[in-house]
Structure 1
Amino acid sequence: MNVRRLIPATALVASVALGAAALTACSGASAAGSGKDGKLDVMASFYPMQFLAEQIGKDHVKVSTLTKPGVEPHDLEITPKQTGQLGEADVVLYLKTLQPAVDKAVAQSGVKNIVDAGTLTKLEAHGTSGHAHEGEGEAGHDHGHGEAGEDPHIWLDPAKYAEVAKGVGAALEKADPDHAADYRKNTDELVGKLTALDTEFEDGLKNTASKTFITTHSAFGYLAERYGLDQEGISGVDPESEPSPARMKELQALAKQENVSTVFFETLASDKTAQSLATDTGLKTDVLDPLEGITGKSQGADYFEVMRSNLKNLQKALGAK
């Protein structure tokens, strides 16, 4: 009887040891993803970062965003719940200086893999049409901009966005090496699409009657520089700020001088200033979307669709031939 009791006990010990070994192996295999499904948990600060993570990570990642659809990213306030979620992420993808509340939360998060998209390409300072206006200049770049008035709106230049995509792909490879080949393949596909979009913009804006466009939000400095256009912002970098009477008078004169037909406004901010200028000058209004978020009002369901709508609206306003 004693022998027969000893055998099951020995088998039980062996079984527990094997089970522990298997558990250790499983936990090691899924170490890349902290979620229950084993996916890499990526927290993106706002839509352009979310889109990159989704396009490159695909089935291997679970992407969350701090900025919900319809919220103006510059004005985002972080909730305690979001701060907690941020600290639990495997990878945090953000654009430093665009959202001060996010910068503070990221700095306190303790997350190992933090990716600042602004370090993945060269940031530049943009005024409007390359020069400062009364009430703007460098001081006007304090809202959502970094050192020396650096412009964060890099995603509106497809070529720069492609550079950022490559860096994000490399970061995901490092965080989850088991799926590195897939991340690399997805990155190459996305960069190819962005390169094609860049060509569409270059060809579509090559021959236009005018090179100047007026917009409420001076978010299109990189786009203007890339395709040889001149951006004139009504209110500088803050879409909610009120332009001075002198600035409005200057834009009225500029519209006549540069054969401007359209004043652009965006979907996430008021069109009041655009409508006011258009009324005073007899100009039309249209949408030029800075793509800081996708809503039901957006002219497209994703980055590529909205960017192509932007191209179409620019071609119409500038008299593309």
Structure 2
Amino acid sequence: MVLMKRLKPAVAVLGSTALIVAACSSETGDETSSDGIQVTTSIYPLEYVAEEVGGDHVSVTSLTTPGSDDHSLELSPRQVNNLSNVDLVVTLSGYQAAMDDALGAAEVSRVIDAADHIKLIEDIDHSGHDHSGDVAEEQEASQDAHDAASEEAEAHEDHDHTDEEDHEGHDHSGPDPHFWLDPTQLALLAEPVAEQLAEIDPDNADEYRANAEQLIADMEALDGDFHEGLAQCESDTFVVSHEAFGYLANAYDLDQQGIAGLEIDTEPSPRRVAEVTALIEEAGVSLIFATSEAEMSVTGALAEEAGVDVDILDAGATQLDENVDYEALMRTNLDKLQNALDCR
């Protein structure tokens, strides 16, 4: 068996003309507009919430550019300084070191940290079942829960988890950050965003709160469609390039099998590759997923070896197509899961 190459994000190659244009233009998040409340977010799902709640009264920018590696965000000094000029920043602490550092350096007027409102799951096994308790019972996550998760993540940093054979090629670097892949979890940010916008712009407070209620209803409807669409399937096992879908698997009783762990640049061990290949055959899996185009070649190599098809199940940290928003992306993912799991 040929060992799969190390997972790495694709690097865009720019021609000389594109470089000249880029040099004359501003970076994402470099400048603010005078139109409406200025909101900066770290990743697309947070941008989506801010736009849905703020409506026409906000101008929202995500610092993670489309198609880039969200785990390895890099910010320029201008982008860091500009955080002091916006009205509101929405982020997820502990996810992107550059963003955490920037917020520590910049004088930011208002920050919403998703980790203060979401119970991040520290330990999800391959079947997606939470070992830290029922997520539904902990949706009203407190700052104490956030602090406890942060302390535990720091403790993990002091412990060596580099033995691939012992850990089967999976990284255990802290809580799973991909909470937005469960729409009911993303909905938990609607009200905090509405309240911050209401404080900034009291004249439109009722509209922000109404928009938040509508977003919550939309996410509940999406959640219902996932439950219904995945209720009667021949299989509950799906294979994905890295374990970004733990919250989704946990919410809909699916068995997520990651070729690699939470981090997209984690190299799967030969043992893990062999396990996944055997599982594909034993479970009758006919379609496996990459989470992005950058992982298609690696996942495709395993698919070819196992004799199965490969497709993209978008983890949604960035918006690749401005005409495809979070809800549309998730519905596309639902269609692909139904196909892979042979659902009726």
Interval containing the TM-score (normalised by the shorter chain): 0.7 to 0.9
1:1-321 matches, cutoff 5 A? 36-37=34-35, 39-125=36-122, 126-129=124-127, 134=165, 136=167, 140-142=171-173, 149-267=174-292, 269-296=294-321, 301-321=324-344
Distance of 2:168 and 2:279 partners within structure 1:
18
CA-to-aligned-CA distance 1:264-299 (integer Å, 9 cap, x gap): 012253212211211121111111100011224x9x
Give the TM-score normalised by structure 2. 0.76
Percent of residue pairs identical = 39
Unaligned runs of 5+ in 2: 1-31, 130-160
**2:83, 2:107 within 8 Å by CA — same for their partners in 1?**
no
**2:171, 2:261 within 8 Å by CA — same for their partners in 1?**
yes
The one-letter amino acid paired with 1:128 is H
The Cα shift of 1:258 comes to: 1.9
The one-letter amino acid paired with 1:36 is S
CA-to-aligned-CA distance 1:159-195 (integer Å, 9 cap, x gap): 1111122222222223332221010011111111111
Q: 1:265 to 1:138 in 2, by over 3 A?
A: closer
Q: Secondary structure at the match of 2:260?
A: coil
Distance of 1:162 and 1:309 partners within structure 2:
19
Alignment root-mean-square deviation, CA: 2.2
1 or 2 for the larger relative contact order (CA 8 Å, sep ≥6)? 2
The Cα shift of 1:260 comes to: 1.6
**1:240, 1:269 within 8 Å by CA — same for their partners in 2?**
no
Q: Secondary structure at the match of 2:207?
A: helix
Distance of 2:194 and 2:69 partners within structure 1:
27
Distance of 2:128 and 2:56 partners within structure 1:
42
The Cα shift of 1:36 comes to: 3.4
- Bigger drift between 104-113 and 195-204 goes to 104-113
Q: Secondary structure at the match of 1:241?
A: coil
Alignment partner, residue 137 of structure 2: none
The one-letter amino acid paired with 1:210 is S
Unaligned runs of 5+ in 1: 1-33, 143-148
Q: Secondary structure at the match of 1:64?
A: strand
Distance of 2:182 and 2:165 partners within structure 1:
27
- Bigger drift between 72-81 and 61-70 goes to 61-70
CA-to-aligned-CA distance 1:220-248 (integer Å, 9 cap, x gap): 00000000001111111122332111111
- Segments ≥4 residues shifted beyond 6 Å: none
Q: Secondary structure at the match of 1:164?
A: helix
Distance of 2:293 and 2:102 partners within structure 1:
24
Distance of 2:264 and 2:256 partners within structure 1:
14
CA-to-aligned-CA distance 1:39-96 (integer Å, 9 cap, x gap): 2111111111111111111111121221122211111101011112111111110111
Distance of 1:137 and 1:249 partners within structure 2:
10
The Cα shift of 1:136 comes to: 4.1
The one-letter amino acid paired with 1:314 is L
